[in-house]
Amino acid sequence: MINVDELDKLYERYDFKKSNQYADAIVYTHTNGYFNNAEIVTLEEGIDVSDIIVRYQEAGFSCKNSYYTDIEEVHAQLFKGFFSVLRTRDKLKGEYYKYCQNQNIRLKFDYSYISCNYFFDGKEQTDSVVSKILSIINSNGPHLVILEAAAGYGKTCTAYELLKELVTSDSDGIPIFTELSRNRKAAVFKYVLLDEIDRLFHHLKSDLVTYEMAEGRIPVIIDGFDELISKSVDMDNKLHDKHSKSFDDMESMLDTIGDLLTHNTKIILTSRKSAIFNGDKFNNWVEGRENRFKVTRLILHEPNIKDWLGTEKIEILKYQNIPYESFGNPVLLAHLRNMSCDKFNNYCKDSEEVIKDYLIMLLEREKERQDIHFTVEEQLEIFIKLVYEMVELDITSEDRDFIKDIILVKNRNLINVLRSRYPQGLSQKAEDIASTLARHALLDRVGTSKNTNKIGFINDFIFGLLIGECICKLKNDWLIDYKYIDLACTAYSARSADEKVKLYLKLKPITLMLHSQEQIEIDIKLNNQLSSNHKDASFYSVTFKNFIFPDGFSFTGCTFSQCIFNKIEIRKSSFYSCIFIDCRFYDCTILNDTQEDRKLIFSNCFGDDISPLKTKDFVTSDDDYYYEKIVLQQFWQKGRANAQPNRAYRTLFAGVPTKQYYSVENAIESLRRKGILEKQGELVYLNYEYIGEVRNILSSGEGDINGK
């Protein structure tokens, strides 16, 4: 028999009132405006409650008689009815197909999702990232999933594929999907989420929705979380005061998410790749939460060009001996994927030609579609000016009328020239021409909601290209938020060497104002070689491919976590007192250009033999317990009632002076040999069977991380 107390609580949760309880039946009533409903729940199968039904019908109630075998069946039925599961899922399916249709229009050919490899648990994964997230959603316990990738490299596409899988699966769950990207009001995340709840479930109370989130029936997908935060790892590094966001600002937004992560909640964030989720402040935030939840970071890799272009086109590239790494942008790959092989054969020799062809295709078609008498060059000039104003205002989308006004004000002379080109009697007003340009193919409505009138650029690649053009055309240094610099550098990474150099030289004066990881990302995308010294910096998930470490620049006291070194020459003299954790080395050449011990530590690294780089003269402490205590303190901090079950391997070195890294690593290995710690991928787990030994080690001595 069903537990009556649990039954009462569940019906009360759904705003029912317990009207009467009989020996073998309970009556719950629900009043909504003119509608009075009564549900008679029988506690045993086959009970006759016809007299109860008649009594309530005479009192004006619409009655329903139900029998359930367990409380889960009751819960599922209430959820299905109140949340209109089938209708809501159909609505979300419609939003997915609307997104695909928009992509078709933007790309000018049929859109299809192509999965790519991703980085998880210290290794590159080749299975479906969507399937991986689905397995997390179907697991027990609260879980925060952070899906990261470079700008324009598939975060939103993957989020929509996840949405599709969730609404077409056999389960009765309903995801909440909210797009924060290009949303000017996204900074107030709490209200954005409440708006989304109201949009999907306007007839339900928000506390009922959040309850079902905690029950695991409503996973939450938040696309474009990077719009809420600065990409800077060190939140105190400010490129420009009006664009800077403190960690406190980000923390308040994360707190809204953290408060939801209870019982069985699943929240998926997408964001541009950012080391902020790997920093001590973020880890401390997670550890400081009373509600314990798991955090998983998945980082999408660059597209696999073979998957996009197919065998025939890859053979053309090989035959012409064309290095096709520069085509690794999804927008360009989609354009090339839909080219005929004859045209592909002519254009694939130069990525710059591919970009020009893509732009000309969009702009020439627009001249015909909207009878625009501007040349391709004039159209680009207009939208470069629009980009400048949008970046200055720190907006990535706005109402169409607002965009129209910017176009009109900043291009009035050019628009007046256009008016003279129309045949006599067909001339248009300047405002009408500006309105036409605000409906240009380079712009599109943001999101899938029918109620939005906000527009932005069709994709990050176009937006980034035009930001880069803007930066290159300006005479003075342009202080802008790093997210716009990142968009420009990502788009320009597909351009010719000359164009990359132009942008790099314009950005060079302001790179010193950026965090070390941001400087490295610029070097990788535009310069392909190290261009400055870095000291006491952390680098997370950076791929150094065909990268040059020139003599004269070096890393000192730096930490490299989950970085990839591929097809490069590594100078021993380029690194001093550095630690490499969970890094991969493929097809690398070691230049042993100094006999000095550079005090380098390689922890849990794989691939090529890097033994010539390893340190040989570290002095370890005889006090093994001291360093084992340092490690275990990362799991069980002072003042906390319980230990944290696992930690990322790299966090075990947090707060430890670099000179002690070697001793800390030895302590980790010692604890693993004793069975106290177990390593799985990038995570290290505490074995609770040895909790007595853990207590003994933590209670020994007086030292702590800063005590020696």
Say if CB 522 and CB 543 are below 8 A apart.
Answer: no
Q: What is the pLDDT of residue 278?
A: 67
The pLDDT tens digits of the residues spanning 412-467 come to: 999 988 888 877 656 678 999 999 999 998 998 776 555 567 899 988 999 999 99
Q: Report d(CA 633, CA 699) in Å as an integer.
A: 11
Say if CB 539 and CB 518 are below 8 A apart.
Answer: no
Q: Report d(CA 537, CA 576) in Å as an integer.
A: 12
- The helix/strand/coil state of 520 is helix
Per-residue pLDDT for 235 more than 50? no
The pLDDT tens digits of the residues spanning 89-138 come to: 999 999 999 999 888 877 767 788 988 889 887 678 889 999 999 999 99
Say if CB 196 and CB 174 are below 8 A apart.
Answer: no
Q: Which two tokens stand for residue 556?
A: 């000192």
Same fold, 85-300 and 624-699: no
Q: Report d(CA 1, CA 24) in Å as an integer.
A: 10
Q: In what side-by-side order are the strands of the sheet with 543-545?
A: 543-545, 564-566, 584-586, 606-607
Q: What is the pLDDT of residue 239?
A: 39
In this prediction, what percent of the chain has a pLDDT beyond 90? 44
Per-residue pLDDT for 165 more than 70? yes
Give the start-to-end residue ranges of the domains of the chain: 4-69, 85-300, 310-461, 529-617, 624-699
Mean pLDDT of 518-530: 94
Classify domain 85-300 by CATH architecture: 3-Layer(aba) Sandwich (3.40)
Per-residue pLDDT for 183 more than 60? no
In this prediction, what percent of the chain has a pLDDT beyond 70? 89
Q: Report d(CA 417, CA 558) in Å as an integer.
A: 57
Q: In what side-by-side order are the strands of the sheet with 683-686?
A: 646-648, 683-686, 677-680
Q: Report d(CA 19, CA 329) in Å as an integer.
A: 63
Please choose, from the candidates 552, 510, 507, 539, the residue with its C-alpha nearest in 3D space to the C-alpha of residue 525: 507
This prediction's pTM = 0.77
Mean pLDDT of 368-397: 91
- How far, rounded to the nearest angstrom, does the alpha carbon of residue 132 sit from its chain's CA centroid? 15
Q: Which two tokens stand for residue 553?
A: 């620049």
Per-residue pLDDT for 580 more than 60? yes
Enclosing H/E stretch for 316: helix 305-319
Per-residue pLDDT for 58 more than 90? yes
The pLDDT tens digits of the residues spanning 589-607 come to: 999 899 888 889 888 888 8
- The helix/strand/coil state of 66 is strand
The pLDDT tens digits of the residues spanning 618-670 come to: 454 556 678 899 999 988 877 777 787 888 787 788 778 777 777 888 899 88
- CA angle 140-143-144, nearest 5°? 165
CATH for the 624-699 domain, from 1.10.3910, 1.10.357, 2.40.30, 1.10.10: 1.10.10
CB-based contacts of 540: which residues, under 8 Å, 6+ apart? 275, 278, 517, 561, 562, 563
Distances (CA, A) of 272 to 224, 286, 303, 516, 662: 8, 20, 15, 17, 33
The total number of residues written for the chain in this structure: 708
Place of tokens 């890294």: 661
Q: Which two tokens stand for residue 609?
A: 């033999």
Say if CB 52 and CB 26 are below 8 A apart.
Answer: no
Give the per-residue SS3 of 88-123: HHHHHHHHHHHHHHHHHHHHCCCCCCCCCCEEECCE
Q: How confident is residue 513, by pLDDT bands cut at 50, 70 and 90?
A: confident
Q: How confident is residue 687, by pLDDT bands cut at 50, 70 and 90?
A: very high
Q: Report d(CA 25, CA 172) in Å as an integer.
A: 28
Q: Report d(CA 53, CA 418) in Å as an integer.
A: 76
Q: What is the pLDDT of residue 197?
A: 85
- How far, rounded to the nearest angstrom, does the alpha carbon of residue 335 sit from its chain's CA centroid? 24
CB-based contacts of 56: which residues, under 8 Å, 6+ apart? 27, 29, 38, 40, 63
Mean pLDDT of 377-395: 94
- How far, rounded to the nearest angstrom, does the alpha carbon of residue 635 sit from its chain's CA centroid? 27
Q: What is the pLDDT of residue 14?
A: 96
Beta bridge partners of 555: 534, 575
Tell which wins on pLDDT, 648 or 514.
514
Say if CB 68 and CB 77 are below 8 A apart.
Answer: yes
What type of residue sits at position 62?
A: S
Enclosing H/E stretch for 118: strand 118-120
Q: What is the pLDDT of residue 707?
A: 47
187 burial (CB, 10 Å; 0-12 / 13-18 / 19+) is: middle
How many other β-carbons are positioned within 10 Å of the β-carbon of residue 386? 23
Tell which wins on pLDDT, 682 or 470.
470
Q: Which two tokens stand for residue 324?
A: 């096709």
The pLDDT tens digits of the residues spanning 454-506 come to: 899 988 999 999 999 999 998 777 888 888 999 999 999 989 899 999 999 99
Q: What is the pLDDT of residue 623?
A: 66
Q: Report d(CA 606, CA 603) in Å as an integer.
A: 9
- The helix/strand/coil state of 183 is coil
Mean pLDDT of 369-377: 85
Arithmetic mean of pLDDT over the chain: 85
Q: How confident is residue 617, by pLDDT bands cut at 50, 70 and 90?
A: low
Per-residue pLDDT for 230 more than 60? no
Mean pLDDT of 338-342: 85
Q: What is the pLDDT of residue 702?
A: 53
Q: How confident is residue 12, by pLDDT bands cut at 50, 70 and 90?
A: very high
Phi, psi of 665 (to 5 degrees): -65, -40
Q: What is the pLDDT of residue 427?
A: 67
- The number of CA neighbours under 13 Å toward the Cβ of 131 is 7
Say if CB 398 and CB 444 are below 8 A apart.
Answer: no
